[in-house]
Amino acid sequence: MSIWEYANPKKFMETSALALPWLTGLSAAFLGAGLFWGYFLTPDAAKFGSTVKIIYLHVPAAMMAISAWMMMLVASLIWLIRRHHVSALAAKAAAPIGLTFTLIGLVTGAIWGQPMWGTWWAWDPRLTSFLILTLFYFGYIALWQAIEDPDTAADLTAVLCIVGSVFAFLSRYAVLFWNQGLHQGASLSLDKQQNVSDVYWLPLLACIAGFVLLFVTLVLLRTRTEIRARRMAALLVRERSA
């Protein structure tokens, strides 16, 4: 029993069919509980008023936007090395979800920044590198759509994903060098003593868990769709040649 068994589309479909209802339920429960708790049961912060509550969307979405790219990078590497089609399709499936998370992060950040910083947008390092990440997502998705042959598309997007990761990383540091900004530093970490106070911390954890589960659910769902689309295309070809 090895993890590569799930690279078999049939095995993947069976397992994911079993797991999906649970994952859906769990992510709905975590997100629902976290958001309800965060929005209705926590006090307003002294400095920020009720705007603080946007972190329940902003922080998990931003975290997942980066994690989604990491997942695509791993999936791309697996595709290039072991040529498992499910892996390439999972990377393809994750891209629009990651893009959506990036956009959620940018939009909620703008909505928060307007009353707090007095501006919708600033060329702050974090904001800029997020915008650059959005551009990478756009390019990646556009390349998938532009190429007709599925294997070529998988190869080229995988190479782009790897090179893009290096350059996204470089941009992150270039931008940091280029401008010091408004965005506060990390206020969540496992090893620090002083985090955000527990009142906000616990519902935020629930929301982060909810977003992770949501991401996994959506990727599985979309990968299943891609596999079905691939099968359908194969059936159509067979029908035409018969």
Nearer to other proteins, 171 or 217 (CB): 171
Binding test (CB under 8 A) with other proteins, winner from 19, 166, 235, 237: 166
Binding test (CB under 8 A) with other proteins, winner from 9, 34, 60, 164: 164
3-state secondary structure the chain: CCHHHHHCHHHHHHHHHHHHHHHHHHHHHHHHHHHHHHHHCCCCECCCEHHHHHHHHHHHHHHHHHHHHHHHHHHHHHHHHHCCHHHHHHHHHHHHHHHHHHHHHHHHHHHHHHHHHCCCCCCCHHHHHHHHHHHHHHHHHHHHHHCCCHHHHHHHHHHHHHHHHHHHHHHHHHHHHHCCCCCCCCCCCCCCCCCCCHHHHHHHHHHHHHHHHHHHHHHHHHHHHHHHHHHHHHHHHHHHHC
| Residue 116 within binding range of other proteins, rule CB under 8 A | no
Nearer to other proteins, 75 or 168 (CB): 168
Binding test (CB under 8 A) with other proteins, winner from 111, 143, 202, 212: 143
| Residue 229 within binding range of other proteins, rule CB under 8 A | no
Kindly state the number of chain residues that form the binding site for other proteins, as judged by CB under 8 A. 28
Nearer to other proteins, 18 or 135 (CB): 135
| Residue 77 within binding range of other proteins, rule CB under 8 A | no
Residues 169-188 that bind other proteins (CB under 8 A): 170-171, 173-175, 177-178
Nearer to other proteins, 63 or 176 (CB): 176
Binding site for other proteins (CB under 8 A): 132, 135-136, 138-139, 142-143, 146-147, 151-152, 155-156, 159-160, 162-164, 166-168, 170-171, 173-175, 177-178
